[in-house]
Each structure stands twice: as structure tokens, then as C-alpha cells.
Amino acid sequence: MEQQVTAVAHANVALVKYFGKRDVRLNLPAAPSLSLTLKPLQTTTKLMFSNDKADVVIANGVAADEKFAGRICSFLHLFRQQSGNSQFLTVHTENNFPTAAGLASSAAGFAALTVGAARLFGLSLSESELSAWARRGSGSASRSVCGGIVHWQRGGSADGSDSFARSILPAGEWDLRILVGVTTRAPKEIGSTSAMEHTRTTSPYYRAWIDSATAAVDEAIEAVSKKDFERLGEVTEHSALSMHASLMAAQPPIVFLKGATIDVFHLTRTLRKEGIQAYFTCDAGPQPKILCQGKDANAVEARLRACSGVVDVIHCSLGEGAGLQTPE
């Protein structure tokens, strides 16, 4: 039996967002979503069996805080239950991008953890099963298991067995780019899990937001099948703005967008007026992201770097799904 494995997974950005659960414990989404798996944003996770009496989690070189470590331990417990192997683990996890700043670090983290833990505990799982397991750690992690352009279906069953993601277009088949405008490296003020529940329970716009998501995903899937970039971009912006509208209408309101974030939204519109096809999105944090095609990416990147309030730009393209790192 293997004693240690290393798994890698990329972050992802949703073009049609997941923001609402129909089951909180199982992370079952209230609606489907669609995302791009992004290289080079990557989590590398090494898992080792240990003789300790508890799991030990080291994140980016330091002992993980209690909350994060607790979340990982409960997740690993699912693997212990399923495999009948009660051993604890030492987990070293590293991100090559800022953690918890609206860059979907939990998605890459739980996707890597799932692929590694499944192997270590000897569970032979299909990609769909791995995705459904990753979903239990963090909803968006279900999408980071798969590569390229990814559709996470809502599913209807109470146990979540039909709520998993799959790739609808492999990474190499469309040269899409995401330029992340880093506006701050500080951790976000409120996590997406609590923000989702707060919105669901207090925002009068929540229902409308969820009701519009299925049609948006269908439209995005059709746009992908025809490689219709303009249509995909329009759905992307509409989904992001609708999600933030629902958040802002919560009581008390949640406003993730900062001045610099909105400035980038306007920059994107200006670029379109100049004939460059670019569309914005933004998750539960202040980092704006611009969607464009490879042919325009350098021009868009230069303009984004020149935007005041943007401290760095991360240039991403479509990445592969999560996998095991082969030993050297």
C-alpha cells in the first residue's frame, strides 16, 4: 500500500456562478454552473499516512488555522469511513497564488485533496465520482477535478450522487484567457459559504438569481458548442452582475466589489468600444477577472496593468483537470 502521494489541481473561475445551496451539508447547489479550469493557478498537496492521533495540516509552510484544518479533517474522515482505514494523515498543501482572496483556492485545494486521498485510501473512483467527492469539501472543487470548460450539473437526488461536474470542452480546444486583476492580497472579509447562506435567507433577489441560472448555463453551453465568444462573454457578465446584485440586496448587504474592481468593469467596456472583445467577471472577493481570447490577451493585460488600483495581473489559460504527480 502506498504511504504517500502528491496531487495537483488548478483553480477555476465560474462564468455562470454557483451561489446558493439546496443542501448545505452535502454542498448541493441550488442551480448549475459553468467554469474555466485555470493554469497556472495551482495547488499541490502531499498526503502521508502518519502514526499521530490526529490529522496534521500544513498550508503554505505553516500549521493551518483551526478552522481550515478542521474542514480538511472532517473531509478526510469521509475517506476513512468509506475505506475502513482509520489512519490519520499529514497533509502539506501549497498554492502558487494568494489564498482566500476570491481566487477559488478552496476549489483547487479540495480537488487536489480528493484525488490524493482517493488514491491513498485505495478507493477507485471515476472522474464523476471524484468530482462528487470534491464537492463535499467545497462546491466549486467539483469543477476543478475536470479540465477545460466545465459544467457542474445541479442534480436532483437527495444524496447528491448526480451532482458532479464534467468537462464540455478540453483545455486545448479553445484559446480562452482569464486575466486576474489583483486589487488586494488581504483575505476576504466573509467566506463564500456564509455569504451564500446569508443571501439565501435575506436577499429578496435570491430567488430570481437562482431561477435565471439554468437558462444562463444552457446558453453558455450552446455558446461553447459554437465557439461563440461574444455570447459566452455576455452571459458571463450578466451572471456576475446578477450574483452581486443578489448579494448587495441581502440584509445587511454584502459588497465584495471595491472601487478598483468597478474601474476594471468599466475598462472592459471601453475595450469593447475600441473593438477588443473582453468581458469581466468577479467572484466573492474584490478581484476582477477579464475573459478574452488568446489573440487579444497581451493587449488586454497591458491595459489591466495600467489600471490604478490593480497591483498585479495573473495571466491564465485553460488548464487540465486534477491528477496525481508521478514520482521523480
Query: Which residues contribute to the site for ligand DP6 (CB under 6 A)?
Result: 14, 17-19, 27, 33, 104, 106-107, 138-140, 192-193, 283-284
Q: Which amino acid is at 191?
A: G
Least distance from ligand DP6 to the Cβ atom of residue 31, Å: 10
For ligand DP6, the closer of residues 107 and 271 by Cβ is 107
Least distance from ligand DP6 to the Cβ atom of residue 284, Å: 4
Least distance from ligand DP6 to the Cβ atom of residue 33, Å: 5
For ligand DP6, the closer of residues 193 and 293 by Cβ is 193
For ligand DP6, the closer of residues 103 and 271 by Cβ is 103
**CB-based burial, 7-41: b 16+ in 10 Å, e otherwise:** bbbbbbbbbbbbbbbbeeebbbbbbbbbbbbbeeb
CA 109, chain centre distance (Å): 10
For ligand DP6, the closer of residues 6 and 105 by Cβ is 105
Q: Which long-range contacts (CB under 8 A, 24 or more apart) does 166-174 make?
A: 166/127, 166/128, 166/131, 167/321, 168/34, 168/221, 168/224, 168/225, 169/224, 171/37, 171/39, 171/147, 171/317, 171/318, 171/319, 171/320, 172/148, 172/318, 173/148, 174/149, 174/224, 174/227, 174/318
Least distance from ligand DP6 to the Cβ atom of residue 86, Å: 26
Least distance from ligand DP6 to the Cβ atom of residue 18, Å: 3
Chain position whose Cβ is nearest to ligand DP6:
139
For ligand DP6, the closer of residues 38 and 223 by Cβ is 38
- Look at residues 177, 39, 42, 18 and name the one whose alpha carbon lies nearest to residue 99: 42
Q: Which amino acid is at 216?
A: A
For ligand DP6, the closer of residues 139 and 147 by Cβ is 139
Least distance from ligand DP6 to the Cβ atom of residue 194, Å: 8
